Amino acid sequence: MIVIFDLDGTLIDSAPDIHATANAVLADEGLEGFDLATIRGFVGRGVPALIGQMLAARGLEDPARAARMAENLVARYEDAVGLTQPYPGVEAALDALRQRGDVLGVCTNKPAAPAHAVLRHLGLDRFFAGVIGGDSGLPRKPDPATLLKLRQDLGGGETAYIGDSEVDAETAKLAGLPFLLFTEGYRTTPAEELPHRALFSDFAELPGLIRALG
């Protein structure tokens, strides 16, 4: 089976690094920063959306400024790994899935370079046969284009998608793929209200849930 994961809020708790980077970009613009919970709520739709939400929350709408801030954030992003950690049990679950013959991939709205950088930093890159980011040239999630492209690149066939958020649930629904929802990530909607095949809060549960899919 092909098993494709979201990254931020699913495999890794990267909100502290995103928070620090976002606030550094705001400081460069002379703007006040946000607390961690607020930035966590902005994560999931890619860099342009993150910048747009931050500016909107400050009552600002300035496309040129937004573009400059996005460029600044991306330039800082690849080195923003020091505060990020995998969720407990992630490495063991990935190892179990790979040992049973599953093909693993990552589909994220994070740009590809920082996605690869953080996976390398955490020693998780060895598990994945493919990674596609939000700067692939295809529409970002919840459009299913990147998820379906990665599925094709990994050989096609039976596929499950694992994520943590409203964006991920909608992506899987639009792609017509079974969705397994990790409940400890960055969503704001109650888990039961999101479309899913299964819920899990502990990565030790994941290999069994994948086996149950077939």
Contact (Cβ atoms closer than 8 angstroms) between residue 80 and residue 43: no
Partnered with residue 161 across adjacent β-strands are 4, 179
Take residue 193 and report the two structure tokens written for it: 């209200």
- The residue from 77, 97, 116 where one domain ends is 77
Considering the domain architecture, whether residues 37 and 131 belong to the same structural domain is answered as: no
- Chain segment 160-195, per-residue pLDDT in tens: 999 999 999 999 999 999 999 999 999 999 999 999
Considering the domain architecture, whether residues 49 and 120 belong to the same structural domain is answered as: no
Residues of the chain with confidence (pLDDT) below 50? none
Considering the domain architecture, whether residues 140 and 182 belong to the same structural domain is answered as: yes
**Which one of 6, 8, 17, 168 is the catalytic residue?**
6
Closest to 167 in 3D by CA, of 18, 27, 46: 46
- The gap from C-alpha 116 to its chain's centroid, in whole angstroms, comes to 12
Predicted local confidence at residue 79, as pLDDT: 84
Considering the domain architecture, whether residues 101 and 26 belong to the same structural domain is answered as: no
Considering the domain architecture, whether residues 93 and 182 belong to the same structural domain is answered as: yes
Number of domains in the chain: 2
Predicted local confidence at residue 81, as pLDDT: 85
Predicted local confidence at residue 63, as pLDDT: 93
Predicted local confidence at residue 165, as pLDDT: 96
Considering the domain architecture, whether residues 7 and 105 belong to the same structural domain is answered as: yes
Considering the domain architecture, whether residues 49 and 97 belong to the same structural domain is answered as: no
Per the annotation, the verdict on 28 as an active-site residue is no
Considering the domain architecture, whether residues 112 and 194 belong to the same structural domain is answered as: yes
Predicted local confidence at residue 9, as pLDDT: 95
Considering the domain architecture, whether residues 89 and 107 belong to the same structural domain is answered as: yes
Q: Residue 161 sits in which domain range?
A: 2-13+84-213
Contact (Cβ atoms closer than 8 angstroms) between residue 185 and residue 199: no
Considering the domain architecture, whether residues 208 and 140 belong to the same structural domain is answered as: yes
- Using DSSP's 3-state secondary structure scheme, residue 176 falls into coil
Q: How many CB atoms lie within 10 A of CB 130?
A: 18
pTM of the predicted protein model: 0.90
CA–CA gap between residue 105 and residue 127 (Å, rounded): 8
Dihedral over alpha carbons 7, 9, 12, 13 (to 10 degrees): 150
